[in-house]
Amino acid sequence: MLQGKSVIVTGSTSGIGLGIARAFAEQGADVLLNGFGEPDAIDSLRHELETRHGVRVRYSPADLASPAAIRGMADYARGEFGKVDILVNNAGIQHVAPLEEFPEDRWDAILAVNLSSAFHLIKAVLPEMKARRWGRIVNVASAHGLSASPFKSAYVAAKHGLVGLSRAVALEVAEYGVTCNTLCPGYVKTPLVERQIADQVRAHGISADNVVRDVLLAHQARKEFVAVEELAALTLFLCSDAAASMTAAALAMDGGWTQH
């Protein structure tokens, strides 16, 4: 479906981003990975995807808090693949604290990685998408881009901002064959969430099953984690020609969480 296309997926060495990157490789797209991890493990991942799917897979360790590093990553992808057709802004970080105790450096870091990096990367690839009159931008926000929870002020602000950024970009480029949409997933069982479960078990002295049902998924009506594969499939659809008229959308895949 996507043979000959190339994609940058940020935060793609684990979790949601890796699932999305795998899905693109399976569909024949060249993929630029970005994120943290052991160099040997990342090399192994690249080799696996290239061998299994016959695509080119590259890696950039770009610091998404650095606009210069972000521009360098876009240039690297363009140099390796010749172009950037699709951009998935997925990287994100989190910190939980009451507002009056929220560390200012954590606020700045969360806004930089979760929101500003998307702006800088979109800015870096948009001219070529407009010139070719085809492009797909998918920003991975969160159910917290549509609703809020206490003690997550920076994360909620950044994710709401990402939804707004996506809509503004979509309107600017609608006549150039470029779409820009936002995914707003509920809880997904990623390594980050696994650590949150363990922390809650230690903090409250309750079982992992109870943490999942009564804490994490208390407001998720379906009482099941969103699967990475579901998000990847939706991302692929948004990047297909069938979704050419789908733009400026903020799509909740949250098991009903935002209706609580």
pLDDT in the model for residue 31? 98
- Counting every residue, how long is the chain? 260
Find the DSSP H helices in 30-116.
39-53, 67-81, 104-111
Task: Characterize 124-137 residue by residue with b for buried, 16 or more Cβ atoms within 10 angstroms of its Cβ, and e for exposed.
Answer: bbbeebbeeebbbb
Other C-beta atoms closer than 10 Å to the C-beta of 85 total 22
Correct CATH for 6-186+227-250 of 3.50.50.60, 3.40.50.720, 3.40.50.920, 3.10.300.10: 3.40.50.720
Q: What does the pLDDT read at residue 260?
A: 74
pLDDT for the residue 56: 98
Q: Where are the domains of the chain?
A: 6-186+227-250, 187-225
| Positions in the chain whose pLDDT score sits under 50 | none
* 91 closest CA partner among 22, 20, 151: 20
Q: What is the pLDDT of residues 201-213, one digit of tens each?
A: 888 788 888 888 8
Distance, CA of 163 to CA of 93 (rounded, Å): 17
DSSP string covering 167-232? HHHHHHHGGGTEEEEEEEE--B--HHHHHHHHHHHHHH---HHHIIIIIITTT-TT-SPBPHHHHH
Q: Cite the active site residues.
A: 155
pLDDT tens-digit map of 35-70? 999 999 999 999 999 999 999 999 999 999 999 999
pLDDT of residue 137: 99
